[in-house]
Chains A and B, each alone.
Chain A
Amino acid sequence: MGSAMLHHGGPSDLAPHLLMRCSNRRLPRWLAVPVVLLMILCGATPVAAQDVPAAAEMADRLKACAACHGDEGRTVGDAYYPSIAGKPARYLYNQLVSFRDGRRQHRVMAAMLRTMSDRYLGAIATYYAARPHAKQPAFEGATAEQLAIGERLTVAGDASRNIPPCQDCHGEQLTGVQPSIPGLRGLPTRYLDAQISAWKQGQRQAAAPDCMGKIARSLSGAEITAISAWLASQPYPDNAQPADRLPHEQLPIDCGGVLP
C-alpha cells in the first residue's frame, strides 16, 4: 500500500531502479554507475514523482476536497470537518487509505476515494502536508471540570489504566510527529470527540495493533469529551510544526499505523 509514498525519497532510491532499466536495455554494466552518478548530479528526481502536478494545479484538481476541508485544507471555527493542512504526510496517506478501504467510515469520503490509486492518494497527502496549518481560535466553551480532567489525562495519562500521556506519542507540543502521528491541536472539539468516541465504538480503526482503539476503550464518554474540550482550548501557535522525533526513544504502546 505504501508504494506511492516511497517514490518521494531521495536520489538513493533511484539507483536500483535505473540499474534495472539499464540492464533491461542491455546497457554495458560498466556504464551503469557513471550514468547514475550523472543523473544524481543533474538533480534528477525519482521517476514516479516527476509528473505529480504542481501545488497550484493540485488545488484545482482537489476542489472537491475544499468543499468541506477548506482552501488548501484549512478549516476554522466550529465546523465539524478537520483542518488537514500541515498534518504529517504519512498520517494523511494512512487516513486516505483507511477511508477508501473501510477502516474509517465516512460515506462521502469513501465515495470520493473509491477509484483512487495509491499514487494519487500519496500525491494528495504530500500536497496537504506541505500547506501552512489553519489559525484555529481556541475553544472557549469548556467547563472548569472538563479542563481539569482533560488536562490531567492528556498531560499525565493514567498508568493504572495503561493510558499513556498524549505527548509521549503526539509530540512535546502535541503538534504531531513526522511522518505518521497527527497533531491534536487546531482541531474542532466536536471532531476530536467524535473520532475518539468512534475508536471506542470500533467505528474507526487503524492498522493493527490499533493503539488508539485500545486507549479509547479505556476512557469513559465524559473523559473523552473532557480531553477533546481541553485540547481544543489550548492556544495554537502559528509556527507550530509536527516534531521531527518522538520525545522518548520509543512509543509507550504498539501502533500499527506508525510502523516504519
Chain B
Amino acid sequence: MKLRRALVMGGAILCAFLFSVWLNKPDLDLDPIAPPNLASATTEQVRAGEYLVRVGNCAGCHTAQGGEPFAGGRAIETPFGAVYSSNLTPHDETGLGRWTDAEFYRAMRHGRSKDDRWLSPVFPYTSYTNLTRADSDAIFAWLRALPPVNQAQPESTLRSPYELQLATRVWRALYFRPAKDAEVAAMDRGQYLVEGLGHCAACHTPRDSRGGPIAASAYMGGEIAGLGWDALPLAGIDTTHDPEGLELATLLKTGIHSRGAVAGPMADVVFESLQYLRDDDIAAIVSYLRRLPIAEVPAAPRVPRVSDDERAALRKRGAVVYGEHCAECHGDDGEGQPRQYPALAGSRLVTAVSATNALRLTLEGGFPPSTEGNPYPYGMPPFSHSLPRADIAAVLTYIRSEWGNDAPAVSVVEVERR
C-alpha cells in the first residue's frame, strides 16, 4: 500500500516536473539565433528598415490615434479582451531602449520578449517568424533612430485565464511553430512578403474559438474578431476579368481599381502600408496571392432566416430604395462608374456570404484611402440616420440578388443588431 502511494506521488511529481520543463523550454525546433552581424547600423540599413516598417504596417498597431508615432498604447480588441500595443521607440524604461538586435530578432521570429515572457499572439509572430535576420536588423536599426518617447504599455484587459503566460504557452504549442532559416530562404519575394512581414494571414485566415488560425482554411477570409468586419478570401481569386493581375495590383497600391475600392480595415492597410510599396513588390505579392490554392470554406456566421415571402417583399421594397438613394452613383444596373463609384454587380464585397461589410458600409459610409494614385477619393454617405432599418435590409437584399448577384437575403433583425 505504502509503495503504491509512493509510486503515485512520484509519478505526479515527475509529471509536474516534465510539464514545467515543457513550459519553460525554448522551442526546440528553432534554429539558434545567429550572432549580431553588424556592430552599428548603417544609413542603408536604416533606410531599408523604414521601408520594411511600412511593409509590416507596424504603425497600424503601435501608433495610437493621434499619439506619438510608434509609442504604442493602442487597444487591439480581441474576443478575450483588449491588448495594448507596446512602445517601439528607443526609450530605456518603456520602449526598446535596452534591447539588442538579437533580442529584437527573437521577439519577431519566436514571439519572446527581452525578459523571456511569451508575447501575446495578437502580435503576429506567427507571420513574422518568416523574417530574415537582415530584415529584422534593418527594422530594429530604423526603430533605434526614432526619438525616444516615455510611454508605458498599458496592462491588457484579457479575461482570466487568457492573461496568463500558461495560456499563451498552450496557444503556442497548438498554433505556432517557428520557421526554419531554410524554409524562409526557399520563399520567393511574394511569398516572403505575404507570409512574413505583410502578415496577411492575421486577418485573411479565419480563426477558431481559441483565436488560433484554422490551417485548413488558410486565406479563405471570414470574420475578423474584434473588428466587426469580414476579411475577403485571398485564395482562389477569380482571374477572368484580370488576366494580368494589374487590377489587383492597382487596388493594393491605390485603394481603388476600375470596378471597386478597398473598405474597412483594408483601407487602413492600403493607407498606412501598401501604397508605399515598390511596384515590383506589389507585383510579387499579386503573383503569390493568385497562386494561393482554394481551401476549406469556413463556416458561415449564423444569421436569422428569411422566408421566401419575406425575401420577395424585401426585394420589391429594395428596388424602390435603390432607385431613390443608390442608382445615381452606382448605376441602374449596379454597374458603377470606373474609379469613382464601385460596381455592385459582381462585387465580391456585395456578394460575400456574410453581409457584414456591405451592411457596415451602408450604415456608416466611408471613403477609400487617399493615396498618391487616388488622392481625392469619392466617398459613400452614411445611411444609418436617414434610412429606416427595414429599408436598409431591403436594399441590401436587393443588391445581393440582382444583376446576376446571388447572395443570401438580409433580414431586418440582422440590420438591427448593428
Residues of A within 8 A of B19 (CB): none
Residues of A within 8 A of B379 (CB): 61-65, 112
With A67-B382, A115-B367 in contact, is A120–B375 under 8 Å at CB? Answer: yes
User: Which A residue sits closest to B66, measured CB to CB?
Assistant: A101
Q: Counting CB contacts under 8 A, is A140 at the interface?
A: no
Nearest CB of A to B227, in Å: 12
Within 8 A of B (CB), among A94-134: 100-103, 108, 110-117, 119-120, 123
Q: Counting CB contacts under 8 A, is B175 at the interface?
A: no
Contact call B370/A117, Cβ cutoff below 8 A: yes
Contact call A115/B369, Cβ cutoff below 8 A: yes
Residues of B within 8 A of A249 (CB): none
The count of chain A contact residues (Cβ–Cβ below 8 Å) is: 29
A52 to B379, CA, bound (A): 16
A201 to B371, CA, bound (A): 36
Classify chain B: how many residues form its interface, as a range: 20 to 34
Residues of A within 8 A of B364 (CB): 108, 111
Q: Counting CB contacts under 8 A, is B123 at the interface?
A: no
Residues of B within 8 A of A68 (CB): 382, 385
Contact call B271/A61, Cβ cutoff below 8 A: no
A108 to B385, CA, bound (A): 11
A60 to B371, CA, bound (A): 18
Q: Counting CB contacts under 8 A, is A51 at the interface?
A: yes
Within 8 A of A (CB), among B308-363: 329, 340
A102 to B94, CA, bound (A): 23
Nearest CB of B to A2, in Å: 16
Contact call B376/A52, Cβ cutoff below 8 A: yes
Contact call A66/B381, Cβ cutoff below 8 A: yes
Residues of A within 8 A of B270 (CB): 115
Q: Counting CB contacts under 8 A, is B121 at the interface?
A: no
Q: Counting CB contacts under 8 A, is B179 at the interface?
A: no
Contact call A119/B366, Cβ cutoff below 8 A: no
Query: Which applies to chain B's interface (DSSP): helix, strand, loop or mixed?
Result: loop
Residues of A within 8 A of B365 (CB): 64, 67, 108, 112
A102 to B75, CA, bound (A): 14
User: Which A residue sits closest to B266, measured CB to CB?
Assistant: A115
Contact residue among A53, A101, A103, A111 (Cβ-Cβ distance under 8 Å from B376): A53
A111 to B377, CA, bound (A): 15
Contact residue among B368, B376, B380 (Cβ-Cβ distance under 8 Å from A115): B368
User: Which B residue sits closest to A119, measured CB to CB?
Assistant: B375
Q: Counting CB contacts under 8 A, is B234 at the interface?
A: no
Residues of A within 8 A of B380 (CB): 63-64
Residues of A within 8 A of B375 (CB): 51, 117, 119-120
Residues of A within 8 A of B377 (CB): 61, 120
A112 to B383, CA, bound (A): 13
Residues of B within 8 A of A66 (CB): 381
Contact call B267/A67, Cβ cutoff below 8 A: no
Contact call A115/B382, Cβ cutoff below 8 A: no
User: Which B residue sits closest to A98, measured CB to CB?
Assistant: B66
Residues of B within 8 A of A60 (CB): 340, 378
Nearest CB of A to B273, in Å: 11
Q: Counting CB contacts under 8 A, is B165 at the interface?
A: no
Contact call A112/B378, Cβ cutoff below 8 A: no
Q: Counting CB contacts under 8 A, is B268 at the interface?
A: yes
Contact call A67/B381, Cβ cutoff below 8 A: yes
Nearest CB of B to A248, in Å: 33
User: Which A residue sits closest to B329, measured CB to CB?
Assistant: A63
User: Which B residue sits closest to A120, measured CB to CB?
Assistant: B370
A167 to B195, CA, bound (A): 59
Residues of B within 8 A of A51 (CB): 375
Contact call A116/B370, Cβ cutoff below 8 A: yes
A58 to B268, CA, bound (A): 23
Q: Counting CB contacts under 8 A, is B65 at the interface?
A: yes
Contact residue among A102, A112, A117 (Cβ-Cβ distance under 8 Å from B366): A112
Contact call B381/A63, Cβ cutoff below 8 A: yes
User: Which B residue sits closest to A101, measured CB to CB?
Assistant: B66
Contact residue among B367, B369, B376, B385 (Cβ-Cβ distance under 8 Å from A64): B367
Residues of B within 8 A of A115 (CB): 255, 267-268, 270-271, 367-370
Nearest CB of B to A95, in Å: 14
A58 to B379, CA, bound (A): 10
Residues of A within 8 A of B37 (CB): none
- Interface bits A74-111 vs B (CB < 8 Å: 1, else 0): 00000000000000000000000000111100001011
User: Which B residue sits closest to A60, measured CB to CB?
Assistant: B378
Residues of A within 8 A of B329 (CB): 63
Nearest CB of A to B345, in Å: 21
| Chain B CB within 10 Å, residue with most, of A58, A103, A115 | A115
Residues of A within 8 A of B366 (CB): 64, 111-112
Residues of B within 8 A of A63 (CB): 329, 378-381
Contact call A114/B66, Cβ cutoff below 8 A: no
User: Which A residue sits closest to B369, measured CB to CB?
Assistant: A115
Q: Apart from A110-B65, A116-B367, list 12 A-B contacts with CB within 8 A.
A: A52-B376, A53-B376, A62-B379, A63-B329, A63-B379, A63-B380, A64-B367, A67-B365, A101-B66, A112-B367, A117-B370, A120-B375
Chain A to chain B contacts (Cβ below 8 Å), 18 pairs: A61-B379, A65-B379, A66-B381, A67-B381, A68-B382, A101-B66, A102-B65, A108-B365, A111-B366, A112-B365, A112-B379, A112-B382, A115-B369, A116-B367, A116-B369, A117-B370, A117-B371, A120-B376
Chain A residues engaging chain B, CB cutoff 8 angstroms: 51-53, 58, 60-68, 100-103, 108, 110-117, 119-120, 123
